[in-house]
Structure 1
Amino acid sequence: MASGRVFQARRLPAHGVQSGWDALLPARTPTTELDRTISVDVAIIGAGFAGLSAAVRLAELDPKLSIAVIDSDEVGHGASGRNSGFLIDLPHDISSGNFGADAVAKSRDEIFVARTAIQQYARLAEVHGWDNDVFDASGKYSVAMTDGGTEHLEAYSLQLKSLDEPNQLLGRGEIEKVTGTPAFKSGLFTPGAVMVQPTALVRAVAAVFQEPVKLYERTPALSIESFSGGCKVKTPKGEVRAGRVILATNGHAESFGFGRGELLHVFTHASLSEPFDPATLGGLRKWGATPASPMGTTVRRINGPDGDRILIRSRYTYHPTIEASDATIKGAGDLHDRKFADRFPSHRHLKMQYRWGGAMALTRNTVPLFGQVAPGIFAACACNGIGGTKSTAAGIAAAELIVGHQSRLGDIFHAFAKPQTLPPRPFVDVGARLNLAYREWRAGRE
């Protein structure tokens, strides 16, 4: 190979404290580190939603392809194992603005993208016998704490009906039968969403790989060298030589120089309660609810052998270093305690056993960083806050792209504009923090 261009990693992922999802699972023995030079058809950097789904799709399209998936940490420790565990099949907000033909087409494309991701997991769940603790096609609720939130849910319900999407509005008494608390004024049920244990899900996907697909954990990519005929990925103890590379590192694409000046690094934060006796709280023992306001508070109730737990997710913080401090997590945790007490006053004595944050990458025009970014290097990055489905779909689309497979999903991803350039620092830093604070203030009790 002739000398090529080198993309050096300026930093490696630092995920922070262990997530509650990971803590609840039994210990797992990671796969071996890469400690030699190997040659494969495709190297995938990142073993989260995007990277794992790309490997799965590549193996479906061409079972003879040799594939190496490398990750700097263990599967499930990164951002994919840190979200709140919703695979959502519908757009977050289609109830505002002009809902004309273009908006209808855009919404239908978003639904197709999300359902393509969900369908891949559904196939794997059926083939490999995953139980409902890993993948539960139960649908989800949206809940309102205020009259304004109820109005939003009613408008959203009408727009869903205009798309022929089934949904059910629930009054105060009906949503109380689900949640066990009278705090919510109303709810909206949509049947197509899936609830997952996110760490268990990515572990389960990684466990299905067979030769010629190989996973190497605790193997960070230190650099990528791009040649006219392929790439070399340097790791601390070895090297991957590949014809093509899929960069499935979400915001850490910027660490290699891709998407620089285009990605906003935002963390969302969660707390998971200590277990409690399920007999002390009515309603269903297993449900998940997103807020009527997109910047509001997500709630889940999960159950296990030691009792039930409540998850609270709220607070978005901006971190251009892609690291959240302990102080940031503590501040988010204080907010979670207040949100929890407001929603479950009868259980306000419960302590939060686990608190953590997870990174996501946003772009100014809410498009992914996708496609060929250098000779032989293809990106499937920038989840824009809906990583469970959008990152998965991006991984599938990247796999299809590099083998030349035509699909509607690929057409949708090819049609995305390029990420828009952000204002220079420090203006973008100030603007991002003010915008997040304002949107959180507007969400209010939601």
Structure 2
Amino acid sequence: MDDHYSARRLPVDPGEAGWLNILNNVPSYPSLDQDITADWVIIGGGFTGLSAARHLSDQSAGTLNIALLESGCIGAGPAGRNSGFMIDLPHALSGDSYVNDLETDRQQIRMNRLAQDFAVRIAGEYDLADHCVDPWGKINAAVDHNGQHHNDVYARQLDQLGEPYQMLSSDDMFDISGSRFYSGGLYTPGTILLQPAEYITGLARGLSRSAASHFKIYEQSPALSFARNGKHWIVKTPTGSVTTGGIILAVNGHAESFGFYKRRLMHVFTYASMTKPLSKQQGKIMGGADRWGITPSDPMGTTIRRIKHGAESRIVIRNRWSFDPSMEVSNARVETYTRSHRQSFDHRYPDLKDVPFEYSWGGRLCLSRNNVPAFGMVDDHVISACCQNGLGTAQGTQAGIAAADLAMNTSSDYTSHLTNHDAPSKLPIGLFSYIGANATIRFKEFKARREI
């Protein structure tokens, strides 16, 4: 334990995140430009931070003064850059299989569904649009025999878990997606499809109104450092500070920037593009259903969604990965992978090559080598709720709620679940880690090339 923690770097989010840019009337919040006090400071305004704020407000019945510091704007960071799949079933992005032992998986399913219940409750209380939290389910798509084998194995595991699913033929996939690219699929009904930026900004707006007496959001207010001051901590931002009794770190891999979990977190970027709205003629050519979500049977393949936003219909496509310990990639890298998105789109919709992309971006993920969270008390009244292993919508929500319970000294299913893990495993040193991880990514992408 130290008396002072400083951020070695600040988060950088490359490209323009389409999910946020297509929204209207997004609220803004002031930056912190003075010295204030708060019972708790939450650093990070994504799924974890805002879920923590909401649950802490509820559990304390409004008696705690809470300040949330966001380094950028709400919805502009990783929370508004993911593909919006809030998945109930186990799906380890860092592993080679979908599930582990049955009891572990049943526990994970239960926790994921509690997180989904939280999102549905938020949508109802804050009057979010139907498309924002949509219980459509998802499809694991196959493009060849290898992908179909993945789905067959997954189906047998779902049978053991007693979970419902439906096997889809190539014609079924065409009827849904409008594409002949897929040879089949496995549909599971339990996934919620989010408009992630709209959900996050809606949660922030609703909470800042309903808890206005004791909860404040400060945008463009990165936490530069926090230092012990007697029984308190002083969190410094570029133009202000907060003296507080406790801190919740809801910053995912950025926790390592403050010196926590050194050489234990893998910083990965994945990349996405969003089309311009389809014209009526383009929509007619595409055919299929008006909205859907497809994940690849191989995690390294292409994730694709058709979304409705008002009268508009768009396609969002995500693929390609890179391991970047610096937690920063260039816009040139985004442009390179946008070309991959173009190829992936054209392979699926060869008659729609005239549909342009309007937005392309990169999004940060944090993985641990042994697929565990970086959760728990890391100093006196400093709680880490980090490392969601690429599943930030559900697991970030869980971590935020668990962190709030830990702050209140309350035992819950959330705290029991998240503290019942080993620490993240150590990674190889420096250059070896960088070379090895990117070589592994390239190899796995090569194996999944048909699905990209």
Does residue 307 of structure 2 align to residue 302 of structure 1?
yes
* 2:45 aligned counterpart, secondary structure: coil
Tell me the CA shift for residue 226 of structure 1.
2.9
1:109 match: 107
1:304-343 equivalence runs, <5 A: 304-305=309-310, 307-343=312-348
1:434 match: 439
1:237-256 equivalence runs, <5 A: 237-256=239-258
Aligned residues of 1:68 and 1:213 also touching (Cα < 8 A): yes
Instruction: Render the CA deviation track for 1:15-42: whole Å, top value 9, x for unaligned.
Output: 1222011111125341111112211111
Q: 1:78 to 1:104 in 2, by over 3 A?
A: same
Tell me the CA shift for residue 436 of structure 1.
0.8
Residue type of the alignment partner of 2:113: R
Tell me the CA shift for residue 264 of structure 1.
0.9
- After TM superposition, the score normalised by the length of structure 1 is 0.95
C-alpha distance in 2 between matches for 1:372 and 1:226: 15
Q: 1:263 to 1:56 in 2, by over 3 A?
A: same
C-alpha distance in 2 between matches for 1:181 and 1:77: 31
C-alpha distance in 1 between matches for 2:52 and 2:269: 24
C-alpha distance in 2 between matches for 1:187 and 1:351: 27
C-alpha distance in 2 between matches for 1:367 and 1:398: 16
Instruction: Render the CA deviation track for 1:127-184: whole Å, top value 9, x for unaligned.
Output: 2221222111111111111111112112211211211111111111112111111211
Aligned residue pairs total: 442
Instruction: Render the CA deviation track for 1:375-402: whole Å, top value 9, x for unaligned.
Output: 2211011111111111111111111112
Tell me the CA shift for residue 327 of structure 1.
2.0
1:394 to 399, 422, 447: 399
1:218 to 208, 217, 220: 220
Q: 1:98 to 1:270 in 2, by over 3 A?
A: closer
Residue type of the alignment partner of 1:414: T
Q: 1:112 to 1:305 in 2, by over 3 A?
A: closer
C-alpha distance in 2 between matches for 1:136 and 1:227: 46
- The list of structure 1 runs, each at least 4 consecutive aligned residues, that deviate by more than 4 angstroms after superposition, is 93-99
C-alpha distance in 2 between matches for 1:438 and 1:136: 35
C-alpha distance in 2 between matches for 1:363 and 1:98: 17
Aligned residues of 1:226 and 1:377 also touching (Cα < 8 A): no
Q: 1:436 to 1:121 in 2, by over 3 A?
A: same
1:260 match: 262
Residue type of the alignment partner of 1:236: P
* 1:359 aligned counterpart, secondary structure: strand
Residue type of the alignment partner of 1:296: G
Tell me the CA shift for residue 344 of structure 1.
1.5
1:155 match: 153
Tell me the CA shift for residue 305 of structure 1.
4.7
1:79 match: 78
Q: 1:124 to 1:150 in 2, by over 3 A?
A: same
1:372 to 370, 377, 395: 377
RMSD: 1.9
1:351 match: 356
Gaps of at least 5 residues in structure 2 are none
**Percent sequence identity over aligned pairs:** 38
Q: 1:236 to 1:423 in 2, by over 3 A?
A: same
1:66 match: 65
2:43 to 29, 40, 45: 45
Aligned residues of 1:228 and 1:375 also touching (Cα < 8 A): no
1:229 to 224, 228, 231: 231
C-alpha distance in 2 between matches for 1:234 and 1:301: 42
Q: 1:97 to 1:320 in 2, by over 3 A?
A: closer
C-alpha distance in 1 between matches for 2:243 and 2:255: 19
- After TM superposition, the score normalised by the length of structure 2 is 0.94
Instruction: Render the CA deviation track for 1:329-378: whole Å, top value 9, x for unaligned.
Output: 12211111111111112212322121100001111111111101112211
* 1:390 aligned counterpart, secondary structure: helix
* 1:426 aligned counterpart, secondary structure: helix
Q: 1:67 to 1:432 in 2, by over 3 A?
A: same
Q: 1:228 to 1:91 in 2, by over 3 A?
A: farther
Aligned residues of 1:69 and 1:214 also touching (Cα < 8 A): yes
C-alpha distance in 2 between matches for 1:344 and 1:371: 46
C-alpha distance in 2 between matches for 1:129 and 1:395: 22
Aligned residues of 1:227 and 1:376 also touching (Cα < 8 A): no
Aligned residues of 1:227 and 1:375 also touching (Cα < 8 A): no
Aligned residues of 2:246 and 2:381 also touching (Cα < 8 A): yes
Residue type of the alignment partner of 2:75: G
Residue type of the alignment partner of 2:105: S
Aligned residues of 2:98 and 2:154 also touching (Cα < 8 A): no
* 2:217 aligned counterpart, secondary structure: strand
1:134 match: 132
Instruction: Render the CA deviation track for 1:100-136: whole Å, top value 9, x for unaligned.
Output: xx71112112212221211111111122221222111
Residue type of the alignment partner of 2:13: H
* 1:133 aligned counterpart, secondary structure: helix
Residue type of the alignment partner of 1:372: M
1:159-178 equivalence runs, <5 A: 159-178=157-176
Residue type of the alignment partner of 2:375: F
Aligned residues of 2:381 and 2:407 also touching (Cα < 8 A): no
